[in-house]
Amino acid sequence: MAFSSTCYNPDGVYRSPRPPVSFPTNPSLSMTTFLFRNAASYPERLAIADADSGETLTFAQLRSTVFSTAAGLQRIGISKGSVILIFAPNSIHFAVTFFAIVASGAIATTVNPLYTVSELTKQAKDSGAKFVFTVPQLWDKVKSLHLPTIFFGTKLPSEIATSDAPIHYFSDLISVPETEFFEPEIRQSDIAGLLYSSGTTGANKGVVLTHRNFICTSVMASGDQDLLGEPPNTFLCFLPLFHIFGLSVITYAQLQRGNSLVLMARFEMEAMLRSIEKYRVTYTFVVPPVMIALAKQAKAAKYDLSSLKLIGSGAAPLGKDVMEEVAKSFPTVQLVQGYGLTESCGIISLEYPQGKDRVYGSTGFLTVGIDGKVICVDTQKPLPPNQQGELCFRGPNIMQGYFNNPEATKLTLDSEGWLHTGDLGYFDEKGQLFVVDRIKELIKYKGFQVNLNAVIDILYAKFKLFPDVEAGEVPIAYVVRTANSSLTEAEVQKFIANQVASFKRLRKVTFVNSVPKSASGKILRRELIQKVRSSL
């Protein structure tokens, strides 16, 4: 690999040291056309395996199934620009559905299956969803949407017969001949996905991602494999496909390169190890809690994991001690960290494979095609290496804005196309990126974003953070009770648990007389954090 030694420029902009690549320039290129552009060269190669069901698809079968499903979508009235909601766990059907939606020119919006009815309803209404894909187990949540529903699977709830909205079945869609598919005119600039993120301003917003965003991200995310001259790899993915990293950086990016994908519905240690052995997995990406579990586990010796070459970690920073412990258990495996956001279609930086120029704590160098800068939070002026400020990025993978939210878009994307992340960090003199903290008032619990202000709106409470070895951070509330109140910790926790998804629930409640505030009345959360840490 030939790398540039210059990353920092006099204009205050950091650039990738990776060799430049050419991104597709044809304006009339869709994600699916790009996905299958070379598939005729390897029709019998494994494309996707479902580790839970045992179902597999070759690249020829994947292509045929995607376009049959797209034809089925057109038959039931889905057309270009329609927003289709996917509310389901990982499966082959999820991946096929996503590709079929974008092939038909429609727009996919994905939802965490752990969401409550109110959270699901909010996203469905905000995105303007016209149809929903789901599994029978989630019908109790979906039925309140009163939307036409397409079911994966065969065991259907009896009450579906009384549904006031049309019901369809995935098995019927994929039986439609692919020759019936009418390919609409799709441009790279057309919207492909609306994936929701808290962003820098709190409330969940639809991140507008185009076909070009996904295409360019896929080139960025697979580029190092090409530079190393690697043969097709096999990726294991248990990270959720409703999340940008699992959907974009793993599923789409790796399949377009001709890599094979093994999907798991959820993480379970022994199931993961069995899948690595069975499918001869070479690459897998995880979140810090899984990396920590790998550092602690002693079961790896039971399995043949000799095929595994690389484990990547993202979603939250990972400490040197954890990386070193995992390295002891997997001495022949490369361990890398990366950084990305929903607003960047999942990727910003990635460490080099083979440990080149490793600095523990770094998320690596910018991927090809991305510019970065660090600005002073107060003056907005660019900062030189080793000075902390807000991280900003620009590139062909950056979102177009927030759906129907020009105010939030203006706060996050400036007139020069820079994405202001709300994250605090710096580049060192070599151009390696370090993400230090979050300016935005969010925490990440097991890789999931928890917007403290959203929980406060429900509870009218004041929150602090508590370091947790496996979760990273956990939501804890400081609650000021009214006079003569008998409110208990259990009552507060139960109230929140009924309002939000499980990963947003309170892990502890502390009752206090007051919370620290600044002269302007802003809650001093950092003082609360420091108070808790000092008591450990």
- pLDDT above 50: residue 466: no
Over the stretch 178-202, which tens digit does the pLDDT of each residue have? 999 999 999 999 999 999 987 655 6
- State yes or no: pLDDT of 526 exceeds 80: no
Q: Are 343 and 208 spatial neighbours (Cβ–Cβ below 8 Å)? A: no
Check pLDDT > 80 for residue 163.
no
Tokens of 530: 């420091």
| Mean of pLDDT values over 480-490 | 82
CA distance 263 to 246: 10
Q: What size, in residues, is the chain?
A: 536
CA angle centred on 491, ends 487 and 492, rounded to 5°? 85
Secondary structure (H, E, C), 81-93: CCEEEEECCCCHH
SS3 32: helix
Nearest residue to 473 (alpha-carbon basis) of 465, 464, 484, 481: 465
State what percent of residues in the chain have pLDDT above 90. Answer: 64
Comparing 287 with 207, the larger pLDDT belongs to: 207
pLDDT over 70 percentage in the chain: 85
Q: 400-451: per-residue pLDDT in tens?
A: 999 999 999 999 999 999 999 999 899 999 999 998 877 765 566 666 756 5
Residue 260, classified by CB atoms within 10 Å of its CB into exposed (0-12), middle (13-18) or buried (19+), is buried
Locus of tokens 């579906």: 160
- To the nearest 10°, report the CA torsion of 162, 163, 165, 166: -70
Distances (CA, A) of 275 to 54, 60, 90, 284, 300: 11, 23, 15, 11, 12
Of 503, 508, 532, 525, the residue nearest 198 (C-alpha): 503
Report the chain's mean pLDDT, rounded to a whole number. Answer: 87
**Would the CATH topology of 33-43+56-186 be identical to that of 442-534?**
no
Average pLDDT estimate for 157-176: 85
Boundaries of every domain in the chain: 33-43+56-186, 442-534
| Digit-coded pLDDT (tens) for 237-258 | 999 999 999 999 999 999 999 9
Instruction: Please check the confidence at residue 467 and state whether its pLDDT lies above 90.
Output: no
Choose from 339-348, 354-363, 448-457 the range with maximum mean pLDDT.
339-348
Helices of type H across 368-436: 406-412
Residues 6 or more apart whose Cβ sits within 8 Å of residue 421 = 200, 341, 343, 390, 391, 392, 393
Q: Which residues contact 469 (CB under 8 A, 6 or more apart)?
A: 292
Give the angle 261-264-266 at the CA atoms, nearest 5°: 145
pLDDT band, residue 462 (cuts 50/70/90): very low
pLDDT in tens, 116-156: 999 999 999 999 999 999 999 999 999 999 999 999 977 67
Per-residue model confidence (pLDDT) at position 1? 47
What is the C-alpha separation between 169 and 151, in angstroms, rounded? 5
Mean pLDDT confidence for 528-535? 67
- Residue 6: what residue type? T
pLDDT of residue 436: 82
| From 151-165, 200-214, 372-386, 403-417, the region with the lowest mean pLDDT | 151-165
pLDDT digits (tens, 9 = 90+) for 56-80: 999 999 999 999 999 999 999 999 9
Looking at residue 516, what is its pLDDT?
73
Element counts in the chain: helices (H) and strands (E): 16, 27
Judged by DSSP in three states, 393 sits in: strand
> What pLDDT does residue 356 have?
58
Question: Is residue 478 pLDDT above 50, yes or no?
Answer: yes
Identify the helix (H) or strand (E) that includes residue 291: helix 288-296
CATH fold label, 33-43+56-186: Rossmann fold (3.40.50)
Most confident of 259-273, 321-335, 460-474: 259-273
Is residue 498 a contact partner of residue 491, using CB atoms and an 8 Å limit?
A: no
Instruction: From residue 44, give the alpha-carbon distance in Å to each of 50, 56, 258, 275.
Output: 17, 11, 11, 21
Label residue 522 by pLDDT band (50, 70, 90): very low
**Helical residues (DSSP H) of 50-185, grouped into ranges:** 59-75, 92-103, 117-127, 139-142, 170-173
* CATH architecture classification, 442-534: 2-Layer Sandwich (3.30)
What value does the CA radius of gyration of the chain take, rounded to a whole number of Å?
23
